[in-house]
Every structure is written in C-alpha cells, then in structure tokens.
C-alpha cells in the first residue's frame, strides 16, 4: 500500500528535477534484502545514465526535495544511486487499523481496469477429461480470479473441441454399435469405446474409412439425423464437463466450441487470399512468414488440399469474433507448451489481417505433469489418467489423513474436510512450480502438512481461527470496528505486518506475468511469518492493549491467507 504513496511522491520530485523524465519508469518495489530497507527504487541510475549525470549526485538532489517522513524513516542512498525506504512502525500501525476497520485488505483496485478474455481448459467432446486438462483449467481459473480481485473485467470462454474428422467415425459407431445401457451408465466411456472400435476397424478397411468420411460430410452439410446425434454427444459431454467444473469450483461465461465458427471459415480463407496474406501452395492455401525470422521455416495451412479447414483457421475466426463482440484489451490463451508455434503463427496472421485491432494477444504456456519415473503421468497400464479418478483419489487420500489426525470428527465432517484438502492439494501442486517447468506428481508431498503445500497453508488458517474460538469467552479480546488502537513493538509483529503490506503488490506481479507461483510463495512466507510471530508473541495471555494489537494481526493474517488461497481457487476450512 505505502509503496504507491512513496512512488507517487517520488515521481513528482523526479519530474521536477528532470522535466523530460518518463514518470512511468520511476517505480518502487520491495527491497530484495530486507536488511537494507522495505522498498527500493533503481530508476535514478537509469535516468542518470541516459543524461550522462552522476547517479549518486542525482539521488542526493532527489532525496533533499523528497518528503516521505509521514510513512518512512530518513531515505538512504546506497551503492551507485539506489534509494532505500524503511516504513515507520507508526505507519504500519495506521495501515493495520484501517484494514481492521474493513477499509482495504492491503490491495487497491487497478486505477485503469482492463477487459481481459481468458481461453482455457478446452476439452474435446466425446472424450473424458484427463490429467492433462488440470493445468489449463486450474491455471486459467486462477488467473481469472486474480484479475477480478484486482478490479479488471474478465470474460472466460471454454473453446471446446466439438467439430472435426473424429465425428465421422463416432457417427458410424453410434448408429451400428451403441449400447444404450452403457451410454446411460457412463456416456463418455461408451463414446470412447465406439470411437476406438471404429477407428481400429478403419485402419484395416478402406471402405469403412470412406463411409466415415461420408458420415462427416453429411454432418457438415446439415443432415438432420447426424446433427441430432452430434448434438446429443455434445450434451452428454457437457454434462461430464459441468460436473467436473462444479467440483473444481470453475465457471465459464461462455462455452463456444469450434463448431460455432464453422460458418465463417470459407469466407475467412477467401478474405485472407484476397488481401494477399494467404496464397495457394500444392493445392492447399497457406500463409508464409518470409519476413518473420522465427517463423520463416514454418508455413501455416489455413485450408487443406481437400478444402477442409484446420485449427489455425478456427482460431483466426475465434479471434475475429472476440474482437468484434467484446473488444477486449487482452486475450490470454492457456495451453501446454507444444502449441507455442501455433499461437505465434495465429497471432502474426491476425495482426496482418486486422492491424487496427489493439488487443494484446498472449499465450500463457505450461509444462507437463510427470510421474515419479520422470515420464508423462499415466496409469501403470499406460492409460492417461482420468481427471475424475485423479480427484477421487486426492479426496480419498486426504480422508485417510484427516481420519488419522481427527478421529473424533463425524464422517460427514471428515469427508468435507477431505474434499477441501484433497482438491486444494492438487490445485496448489499445479500452481506452485514455475508454470513453464514440468513437475513430478507426488501424492505424499502435495498432501503433507509441512512444507510449501496447500494443506500447510489451510492448517495455518485453521490455527488462526482457533485463536478466535478460544477468545470467544472474552468479548473484549476480539477486534471490533470501534476499537482501533494498534501498537506494534516486537520484531516478529513488525515483520508480519510488513509482509501483509505486500499482498497487493504480489497479486499485481502475478497478474502482470501470469504466474500464480508468485502468490503461492507469498502465502507460504506469510504462514511462516505468522508461525514465528505466534511462537514469540503471546496473544491471548498478553495485556489488554497488546492483546488487541496481536489479535488484529492474527485476524488480518487469516483474512489475507483466505483471500489469497481463494485467488488460487482453494477453499479454507475452520477445522482440520
């Protein structure tokens, strides 16, 4: 919070000293080493270098004019021209008091809110969602939550795969081999069985493959029977998707599948050809990138030689629709790293096609989930793990831990705690690593009550709530709106308060770089700072004024933990 006030004051002074300086490059950030201060700016060194000035002399001139005494100890000049700021304890007291009154939770809404469209999850119709979908779904949902928390307008769109060559084979299987009882029992498994059976048969029987192609052509031409079957497949698939999304606490504003854009594809290809962006090549229509070094060896097909469109065509139609319909400031695609080339091509083509479109296009890509053997995470038989089965196992493993730790709780309580802990553990394990890294899926590690895990953070929250349950017998002990005197003194209190102060900064950094791991690590450090405070500073046994201050700290630490975990899509519980 205070860094913004310091930053504002600093910009005013620097632009009075250097009227041509760009105020946007004058920033204040947390000090990398807390021994030297709480916040720091390095901007003066760059400004001095540009103007061939002595950076320390410029720093001294700025410090002479800079008055931040209401928040900071005297500003220190370090090194070649760093400015270090140390927040006064009295200023910390004031910001805790305003937070205790509910005026803020150490973050401010974005002064210039953006409209952000997030495309994530994107499962395929007639297939079970599997472990590979967890990263896109959890990461996309987390980014949506963080952007909303910061005051941005967010639109979420689940671009499901509901069109393409696989439906010809599915239609044959549906008409000739469908088992109605199996379809009612587990529709996705039955549709997967039908596809595998017909696909295998097509590899041996060219006539059957041709029949599948004809069924697809009939579907594409609007044949009523095939359209009705296709719509039923979509409805059955969405029922499975919706059940999993509800379980994960994920919601979408729109679910516009590939088929939604099908009517636009032929005219899109024609337009790109007319504009000279695309041209014929060996019977197909393609876009070349001779002027883009990283893409010049990678041609993008937008129409195959048989006249069919592909992913690039559909994604271009999708982008145009999004621009015309919502006019977002930013469109973010959350997919695995294998699609990097695809999105570089699509973004480049769209820029040529619509140079007037001002929206920023971002591909947020991530690494793979690996098993203990370092290979893609699969079942022992080599099958891809279903997402529903993964979540079931997470809850069951958590239930065993909860039952061992709290046998006195009744079963419904243990089941609900296990649901919150199990799902939280899976999500956190996915969000904690640098998203561009592969990570090893490790049940024991992710469910541990110590280390950087969701259960550890959830347990820290329950410890804080238990303090207030113990304090209920003394109404004067709990923070209230009409009692606002906070007075910090112990080093552990001050360290915890300063950590709380940076909550908004971390959220902004996580949003700017689309890296939720920043927030994960912040919350882990917060839990550690709280543990050190609680071990060193008696709360309920302290004298009245100190007890009130420490309860305010406990309350705010709990609220930030809860809000931060909520931004990760992770629930908290009062008991564990």
Instruction: Give me the DSSP letters along 68-83.
Output: -TTTBSPPEEETTTEE
φ and ψ at 411, to 5 degrees? -60, -45
Ranges of the chain whose pLDDT falls below 70: 380-381, 473-484
- By the 8 A CB rule, do 65 and 52 touch? no
Strands 439-440 and 369-370: parallel
- Beta-carbon contacts of 547 under 8 Å, excluding residues fewer than 6 positions away, are 477, 539, 540, 541
- 437: which 2 tokens? 């890294």
Helix, strand, coil shares, percent, the chain, to 5: 55, 10, 35
The string of pLDDT tens digits covering residues 501-531 is 999 999 999 999 999 999 999 999 999 999 9
Query: Which alpha helices (H) appear in 150-296, and where do they start and end?
Result: 166-177, 180-185, 187-204, 206-220, 224-248, 265-274
C-alpha angle 434/438/441, rounded to 5°?
105
Return the pLDDT at 481: 47
Return the pLDDT at 475: 57
DSSP annotation string for 409-459 = S-HHHHHHHHHHHHHHHHHHHHHSS-TTS-EE--HHHHT-SSSSSHHHHHH
- CA 148 remoteness from chain centre: 11
- Beta-carbon contacts of 260 under 8 Å, excluding residues fewer than 6 positions away, are none
Where b means 16+ CB within 10 Å and e means fewer, 409-440 reads beeeebbebbbbbbbbbbbbbbbbeebeeebe
Return the pLDDT at 499: 97
**How crowded is the C-beta side of 66, counted as CA atoms within 13 Å?**
29
- d(CA 294, CA 90) in angstroms, rounded, equals 55
Between the CA of residue 181 and those of 169, 184, 185, 186, 190, what are the distances in Å?
21, 5, 6, 9, 9
- d(CA 295, CA 410) in angstroms, rounded, equals 60
Which is nearest to 361 in space by CA: 404, 330, 325, 398? 330
The residue written with tokens 């419904």 in the block is 412
- 108: which 2 tokens? 């401010």
Q: Quick one: angle between helices 265-274 and 340-353, nearest 10?
A: 60
C-alpha angle 488/492/494, rounded to 5°?
40
- CA 204 remoteness from chain centre: 44
DSSP annotation string for 19-88 = TTS-GGG---EE-SSTTS-SEEE-HHHHHHHHTT--HHHHHHHHHHH---TTTBSPPEEETTTEEEE-B-
Query: Which alpha helices (H) appear in 334-435, and where do they start and end?
Result: 340-353, 387-405, 411-431
H or E segment at 331?
strand 330-336
Strands 82-85 and 39-41: antiparallel
The string of pLDDT tens digits covering residues 206-234 is 999 999 999 998 998 889 999 999 999 99
Rounded to the nearest 10°, the torsion over CA 149, 150, 155, 160 is -60
The SS3 of residue 210 is helix
Which own/partner contact pairs does 388-394 have at CB distance under 8 Å and 24+ positions apart? Answer: 388/128, 388/129, 388/243, 388/244, 390/131, 390/134, 390/426, 391/244, 391/247, 391/248, 391/422, 391/423, 391/426, 393/443, 394/422, 394/423, 394/425, 394/426, 394/443, 394/447
Counting runs of H as helices and runs of E as strands, what totals does the chain give?
Answer: 21, 13
- d(CA 209, CA 203) in angstroms, rounded, equals 7
- By the 8 A CB rule, do 129 and 388 touch? yes
DSSP annotation string for 503-522 = HHHHHHHHHHHT-THHHHHH
- CA 412 remoteness from chain centre: 31
Q: What is the DSSP letter of 280?
A: E
- At the topology level, CATH places domain 2-87 in Gyrase A; domain 2 (3.30.1360)
Which is nearest to 452 in space by CA: 333, 551, 568? 568
Q: What is the pTM of this model?
A: 0.93
- d(CA 565, CA 246) in angstroms, rounded, equals 18
* Burial (0-12, 13-18, 19+ Cβ within 10 Å), 182: middle
- d(CA 228, CA 222) in angstroms, rounded, equals 10
- Beta-carbon contacts of 438 under 8 Å, excluding residues fewer than 6 positions away, are 367, 368, 369, 370
- d(CA 234, CA 232) in angstroms, rounded, equals 5
Q: Could you state, in order of their start, the residue ranges of all structural domains in the chain?
A: 2-87, 166-248
- By the 8 A CB rule, do 195 and 216 touch? no
Between the CA of residue 132 and those of 47, 136, 433, 453, what are the distances in Å?
47, 8, 16, 21
């Amino acid at each position: 919070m205070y860094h913004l006030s310091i930053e504002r004051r600093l910009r005013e002074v620097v632009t009075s000293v250097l009227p041509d300086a760009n105020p946007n490059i004058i920033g204040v950030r947390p000090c990398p080493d807390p021994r030297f201060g709480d916040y720091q700016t390095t901007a003066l060194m760059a400004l001095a270098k540009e103007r061939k000035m002595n950076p320390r002399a410029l720093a001294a001139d700025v410090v002479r004019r800079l008055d931040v005494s209401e928040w900071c100890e005297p500003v220190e000049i370090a090194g070649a021209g760093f400015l270090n700021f140390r927040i006064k304890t009295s200023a910390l007291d004031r910001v805790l008091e305003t937070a205790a009154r509910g005026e803020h939770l150490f973050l401010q809404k974005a002064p210039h809110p953006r409209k952000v469209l997030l495309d994530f999850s994107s499962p395929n119709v007639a297939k079970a969602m599997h472990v590979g979908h967890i990263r896109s779904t959890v990461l996309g949902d987390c980014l949506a939550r963080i952007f909303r928390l910061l005051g941005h307008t967010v639109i979420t769109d689940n671009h499901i795969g509901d069109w393409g060559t696989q439906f010809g084979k599915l239609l044959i299987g549906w008409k000739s081999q469908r088992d109605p009882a199996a379809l009612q029992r587990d529709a996705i498994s039955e549709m997967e069985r039908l596809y595998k059976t017909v696909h295998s048969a097509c590899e041996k029987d060219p006539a059957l493959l041709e029949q599948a192609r004809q069924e697809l052509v009939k579907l594409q031409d609007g044949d009523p029977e095939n359209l009705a079957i296709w719509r039923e497949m979509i409805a059955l698939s969405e029922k499975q998707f919706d059940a999993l999304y509800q379980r994960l606490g994920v919601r979408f504003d729109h679910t516009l599948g590939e088929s939604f854009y099908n009517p636009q594809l032929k005219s899109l290809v024609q337009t790109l050809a007319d504009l000279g962006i695309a041209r014929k090549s060996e019977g197909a229509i393609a876009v070349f990138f001779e002027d883009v070094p990283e893409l010049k060896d990678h041609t993008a097909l937008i129409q195959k030689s048989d006249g069919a469109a592909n992913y690039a065509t559909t994604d271009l139609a999708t982008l145009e629709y999004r621009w015309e319909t919502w006019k977002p400031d930013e469109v973010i695609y959350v997919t695995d790293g294998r699609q990097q080339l695809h999105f570089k091509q699509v973004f480049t083509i769209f820029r040529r096609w619509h140079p007037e479109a001002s929206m920023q296009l971002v591909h947020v890509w991530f690494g793979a989930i690996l098993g203990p053997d370092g290979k893609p995470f699969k079942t022992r038989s080599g099958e891809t793990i279903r997402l529903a089965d993964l979540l079931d196992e997470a809850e069951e493993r958590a239930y065993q831990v909860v039952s061992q730790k709290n046998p006195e709780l009744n079963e419904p309580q243990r089941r609900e705690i296990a649901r919150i802990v199990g799902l939280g553990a899976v999500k956190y394990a996915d969000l904690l690593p640098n998203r561009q890294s592969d990570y090893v899926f490790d049940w024991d590690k992710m469910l541990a009550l110590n280390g950087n895990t969701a259960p550890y953070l959830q347990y820290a929250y329950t410890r804080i709530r238990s303090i207030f349950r113990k304090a209920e017998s003394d109404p004067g002990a709990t923070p209230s709106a009409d009692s606002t005197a906070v007075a910090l003194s112990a080093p552990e209190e001050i360290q915890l308060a300063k950590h709380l102060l940076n909550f908004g900064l971390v959220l902004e950094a996580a949003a700017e770089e689309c890296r939720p791991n920043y927030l994960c690590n912040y919350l882990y450090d917060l839990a550690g700072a709280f543990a050190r405070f609680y071990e060193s500073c008696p709360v309920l046994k302290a004298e009245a004024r100190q007890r009130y201050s420490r309860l305010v700290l406990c309350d705010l630490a709990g609220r930030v933990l809860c809000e931060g975990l909520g931004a990760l899509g992770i629930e908290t519980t009062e008991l564990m």
